[in-house]
Amino acid sequence: MSLDFGWLRWILTVAFGAICVKSLLTVVYNVYFHPLRNFPGPKLAAATPFPFVWRIVNGRMVKWTQELHDKYGIVVRIHPDELSFIGSSAWKDIFLAPRPQLPKPTIGALETPSRVPSMTTIPDAENHHRQRKIISHAFSPRALQEQEYILQKWTDLLITRLHDQGKEVDVCEWYNYLTFDVIGNLCFGESFHCLETAENHPWIAAIFPGIKIAQILTIFHHFPPLDKLVRWGLPFVIAEKIKENHTFTSQKIDQRITAKSERPDFMKYILENNYPGGMTREEINSTVTLLILAGSETSAQTLTGATYFALSNPPVMERLKQEIRRTFAKDPSKIMVSRVSELPYMHAVIQETLRIHPTEPIAVPRQVDRPIEVCGVSVPAGVRVGIPMQTAFRTSFNFVEPDTFIPERWLDDADPKFARDDKAMFEPFLVGPRNCIGMPLAWAEMKLTLAKILLNFDLELSEKNAGDWSAQKVFLLHDKKPLYVKIMPRL
Ligand code: HEM
């Protein structure tokens, strides 16, 4: 008996035809009738999300937005529903002025392993505030003072371990070991033992590929209903890793809670201030995972960047070494957070690193839920607006010699030509109620580390590094590369 599948062919043809007609109508609407139709930008990016999602997949979003802003100016329509701004008043217009604050869009947001949002993935302002109020106690000036001994202990261990190594190390890896151990201590009361073992803990080894996959999978958010399929299917793809990481975090937090310790780490403050109706245990798990990521990779990337840029510009390295060695030569034990904070040139080197190589290079946009004005133009509700930091920090619209590493531009006695720099554009830690809560900790950790490294070692770039270290793809974070450096002990 032969089966007649004619009806199936007919259904498929009709379905395919309907999809084509709907897509065509959407394209026509996006280009000619959409509220953003008059904004500048490439027609293809206005018509469909494909050019945008392609840059997410190939990690070239930074290069693309740079080219678009060079061509179209300070505002560009980079997606049918998204505008990109690089004018400094955009910080105020998007992140400070709207009250209540604009929510984070669910499109493009990474999910936490448990699906319970962390402080940073919660879209709405009210719930974000509820969590941030509790977490903020762990980042007060007093808490940072109490936590300094942890920074001191682990930066000292980094120096000892570097003395044990051969002549050449991948500093990217070692800065990561340091920042993970510090943040492990602050979150769980116990380090990840990376510095001791010179290895990444499996939790860490799993998280980076996980972020990359999750970021690439966000492209399906742009093609509903495929987003639902991915949400359903993702756990099957990386189920084991998700479960392992989730269990690890949960167990470590359990242990820290049971220990009832008075160590001044993050958990002490979270537990002390978690009033009834505050954070649920699952929210604590998700937010601790966020703290580990936000508090480690960012500082490690910036330390690697500062090392690379200073070594690539010998007069900068010379001036930086002089400042540190002159200040601490007589008594290296006096390298305290309060004292390293007073070194203007080191501050300028790190700022310039964050300008050339910010840790959040691409826009993390906001959802416009009411008409607003950004950089003097009216933006309708229902779209997304963002500031791509790397593009905004490295454009001649905002900075003189934007691609050149010049820490001197940040000094009080800078060359008058740098008066043309729009310094209000430079906000590498974000502004507003969702800015970086760990900024003082980050500064303290980075300055302490750089000071100790340059007091103890002379450094030189290895011939093993190929090309420009800072030319990296971006999958939300920089797709980091090793940085091989020859280290020569001097103390
Ligand atoms: C060079 C170092 C760092 C830079 C440049 C940096 C930058 C940023 C930026 C741009 C954001 C906003 C993310 C978004 O778009 O939502 C952010 C958020 C955050 N950062 Fe940092 N960060 C650094 C270090 C740290 C450290 C050491 C910690 C400590 C744990 C930390 C904890 C956080 C947290 C918890 C958030 C989320 C805040 C919220 O959602 O309210 N960061 N950071």
Average pLDDT over residues 19-44: 96
The answer, yes or no, to whether residue 287 has pLDDT greater than 70, is: yes
Report strand pairing: 477-478 vs 474-475. antiparallel
Q: Does residue 126 or residue 109 have the better pLDDT?
A: 126
Q: Does residue 230 or residue 16 have the better pLDDT?
A: 16
Strand (E) or helix (H) holding 348: helix 344-356
Phi-psi region of 124 (alpha: psi -120 to 50; beta: other; left: phi over 0): beta
pLDDT at res. 120: 85
Confidence band, pLDDT 50/70/90 cuts, at residue 215: confident
The answer, yes or no, to whether residue 258 has pLDDT greater than 60, is: yes
How far does residue 389's CA lie from ligand 1's centre (Å)? Answer: 14
Give, as one character, the DSSP assignment of residue 187: H
Q: Is the ipTM of this complex over 0.95?
A: yes
Bridge partners (DSSP) of residue 170 are 484
How far does residue 86's CA lie from ligand 1's centre (Å)? Answer: 20
117 φ, ψ (degrees, to nearest 5): -65, 145
Atom of ligand 1 nearest to the CA of 266: 30
User: Reduced to 3 states, what is the DSSP secondary structure of residue 9?
Assistant: helix
The answer, yes or no, to whether residue 187 has pLDDT greater than 90, is: yes
Determine the Cα–Cα distance for residues 130 and 104; give it in Å rounded to an integer: 16
Confidence band, pLDDT 50/70/90 cuts, at residue 123: confident
**Is the preceding peptide bond at 225 cis, omega within 30 degrees of 0?**
yes
Confidence band, pLDDT 50/70/90 cuts, at residue 233: low
Secondary structure of 129-164 in HEC code, one letter for each residue: HHHHHHHHHHHCHHHHHHHHHHHHHHHHHHHHHHHH
pLDDT digits (tens, 9 = 90+) for 416-435: 999 999 999 999 999 999 99
* Residue that the structure tokens 């800065």 belong to: 175
pLDDT at res. 1: 52
User: Reduced to 3 states, what is the DSSP secondary structure of residue 196?
Assistant: helix
How far does residue 439's CA lie from ligand 1's centre (Å)? Answer: 7
- Over pLDDT 90: what percentage of the chain? 71
Q: What is the pTM of this model?
A: 0.94
- 148 touches 336 (CB < 8 A): yes
- Over pLDDT 70: what percentage of the chain? 96
Q: Which two tokens stand for residue 342?
A: 């007073």
Phi-psi region of 476 (alpha: psi -120 to 50; beta: other; left: phi over 0): left
Confidence band, pLDDT 50/70/90 cuts, at residue 304: very high
Confidence band, pLDDT 50/70/90 cuts, at residue 245: confident
Confidence band, pLDDT 50/70/90 cuts, at residue 236: low
Average pLDDT over residues 164-176: 93
Atom of ligand 1 nearest to the CA of 442: 27
Atom of ligand 1 nearest to the CA of 119: 40
SS3 content of the chain, % helix, strand, coil (to 5): 60, 10, 35
Average pLDDT over residues 337-363: 97
R_g of the chain, CA atoms, integer Å = 24
Helix axes 266-273, 171-188, angle to 10 degrees: 30
Q: Does residue 265 or residue 224 have the better pLDDT?
A: 265
Q: DSSP letters along 42-98, please?
A: -HHHHH-SHHHHHHHHHT-HHHHHHHHHHHH-SEEEEETTEEEE-STHHIIIIIISS
User: Reduced to 3 states, what is the DSSP secondary structure of residue 433?
Assistant: coil
Indicate the residue type of 118.
Answer: S
Confidence band, pLDDT 50/70/90 cuts, at residue 311: very high
Confidence band, pLDDT 50/70/90 cuts, at residue 234: low
Mutate to test the pocket of ligand 1, among 298, 303, 427 (most ligand atoms within 8 A of CB): 298
Average pLDDT over residues 1-12: 76
Provide the mean pLDDT of the chain. 92
pLDDT at res. 222: 86
Cα dihedral sign, 160-266-176-255: positive
Instruction: Pick the range with the lowest mean pLDDT from 99-108, 137-146, 227-236.
Output: 227-236
Confidence band, pLDDT 50/70/90 cuts, at residue 231: low
Strand (E) or helix (H) holding 201: none
Residue 260 CA: distances (Å) to CA of 189, 190, 256, 268? 11, 14, 7, 8
pLDDT at res. 144: 95
Confidence band, pLDDT 50/70/90 cuts, at residue 114: low
How far does residue 211's CA lie from ligand 1's centre (Å)? Answer: 16
Atom of ligand 1 nearest to the CA of 292: 30
pLDDT at res. 113: 61
Determine the Cα–Cα distance for residues 86 and 457; give it in Å rounded to an integer: 39
Confidence band, pLDDT 50/70/90 cuts, at residue 401: very high
Domains defined for the chain, CATH in brackets = 31-489 (1.10.630.10)
Pick the residue whose CA is nearest to atom 14 on ligand 1: 364
Confidence band, pLDDT 50/70/90 cuts, at residue 223: confident
Average pLDDT over residues 364-371: 96
Confidence band, pLDDT 50/70/90 cuts, at residue 111: low
Atom of ligand 1 nearest to the CA of 186: 30
Average pLDDT over residues 459-477: 93
Indicate the residue type of 410.
Answer: W
pLDDT at res. 368: 97
Q: Which residues contact 487 (CB under 8 A, 6 or more apart)?
A: 162, 165, 167, 168, 169, 457, 458, 459
Q: Please give all residues whose beta carbon lies within 6 A of any atom in ligand 1, as ranges.
A: 119-120, 132, 290-291, 294-295, 298-299, 302, 354, 359-360, 364, 428-430, 434, 436-438, 441-442
Q: Hey, which bits of 345-434 come out as E strands?
A: 366-367, 372-374, 377-379, 384-386
